[in-house]
Amino acid sequence: MDTHRDTRLTVKPLTPTIGAEIVGIDLRENLDHATFEAIRTAWHDHAVIVVRGQELGEDDQIRLGERFGEIGHIFNPHKGKHPGLMFVSNIREDGKPIGVLPDGEMQFHSDQCYTEFPPAGTMLYGIEVPSTGGDTLFANMYAAYDTLPADVQARIETLRGVHYYDPLGEYIVQKGPISPNAMRWAHPVVHRHPITGRKALYVNRLMTYEIEGMTADEAEPLLNLLFDHQEQPHFVYQHVWRPGDVVLWDNRCTLHARTDFSTEERRLLRRITIQREIVA
């Protein structure tokens, strides 16, 4: 546990490998430079930070996000005043979900890995949460990379994974042909984090279907080995949501997944992405 001398906040690791809770701050405040940088450092050190008991309005969330960098404006058909704000929700109005990613379980993935410039981070704010389920799991991809056998590390060093996203698709991989409408992008399987300089494993079960230059028969066993390795429980922090939780993950060195939850219960999270981190 690390209490900063010149700020009021305390950083408490949530597991030995990933996640830290920050206590002693109100994120609505205009945090001074030292306090904010202590939060940023905790984010880089622990890959996922959690701040509980917050009352964040839409503007507060945008302002907080802007301290980290540039907010992403992804296609957002939903409500929210700022173009970077969206909701993750199963709530429906006139039969239509008011947010994205409405229902059920989601397999491990990295946000927008199927685009040229995936966001540096994603921040969710809990507003309504089910009584059970709908937890978000985070896996540390530095640890996953570091613990691969040396021969596997050598084998993947220069490979590129091809990531796909079918906008009409499911959150659990379905066997079958890839839709011709799917968005796709290839990225190195071993990704060096631009700030920490550490290597992270950058493939995921939900969206990485191919390895450039390999046949499906060659790629499939290698990808499955990497997926099984990277999802091991000792790399994972499981976040059980409460209203008022702010969770920010580093999308460059983590994967996340979601456990199933009842369609009878409401779940509403407010979401922004940090498209590009800017260290002030």
Q: Which of residues 74-93 bind ligand OGA (CB under 6 A)?
A: 88
156 makes contact, choosing from ligand OGA, Mn ion, none, with CB < 5 to 8 Å by partner type, with none
**What is d(CA 135, CA 130) in angstroms, rounded to the nearest whole number?**
9
**Nearer of residues 111 and 250 to Mn ion, judged by Cβ:** 111
Enter the tokens of residue 233: 């429980």
256 is catalytic: yes
Binding to ligand OGA by CB under 6 A, coded x per residue (else -) over 121-140, reads -x-x-----------x----
Other beta carbons within 10 angstroms of residue 112's beta carbon come to 21
Catalytic residue from among 46, 111, 252, 267: 111
Say whether residue 210 binds Mn ion (CB under 5 A): no
**Nearer of residues 22 and 269 to ligand OGA, judged by Cβ:** 269
Say whether residue 106 binds ligand OGA (CB under 6 A): yes
Q: How far is the CB of 86 from ligand OGA (least distance, A)?
A: 9
271 is catalytic: yes
- Residue 93 makes CB contacts below 8 A (sequence gap 6+) with none
Question: How many residues are given for the chain?
Answer: 280
Burial classification of residue 104, based on how many CB atoms lie within 10 Å of its CB (0-12 exposed, 13-18 middle, 19 or more buried): middle
**Nearer of residues 4 and 171 to ligand OGA, judged by Cβ:** 171
**What is d(CA 243, CA 258) in angstroms, rounded to the nearest whole number?**
17
Binding to ligand OGA by CB under 6 A, coded x per residue (else -) over 235-274, reads ---------------------x-x----------x-x---
Say whether residue 21 binds ligand OGA (CB under 6 A): no
46 makes contact, choosing from Mn ion, ligand OGA, none, with CB < 5 to 8 Å by partner type, with none
258 makes contact, choosing from ligand OGA, Mn ion, none, with CB < 5 to 8 Å by partner type, with ligand OGA
**What is d(CA 221, CA 150) in angstroms, rounded to the nearest whole number?**
17
Query: Could you tell me which of 69, 12, 21, 97 has the C-alpha nearest to residue 269?
Result: 97
E-strand ranges in 47-202 read: 48-51, 69-71, 86-89, 92-93, 96-97, 106-109, 121-128, 136-140, 160-165, 183-188, 190-192, 199-201
**Nearer of residues 101 and 173 to ligand OGA, judged by Cβ:** 101
Say whether residue 111 binds Mn ion (CB under 5 A): yes
User: Residue holding tokens 């503007």?
Assistant: 59
Paired with 89 in beta bridges are 268
Binding site for ligand OGA (CB under 6 A): 88, 101, 106, 111, 122, 124, 136, 256, 258, 269, 271
Catalytic machinery residues: 109, 111, 256, 271
Binding site for Mn ion (CB under 5 A): 111
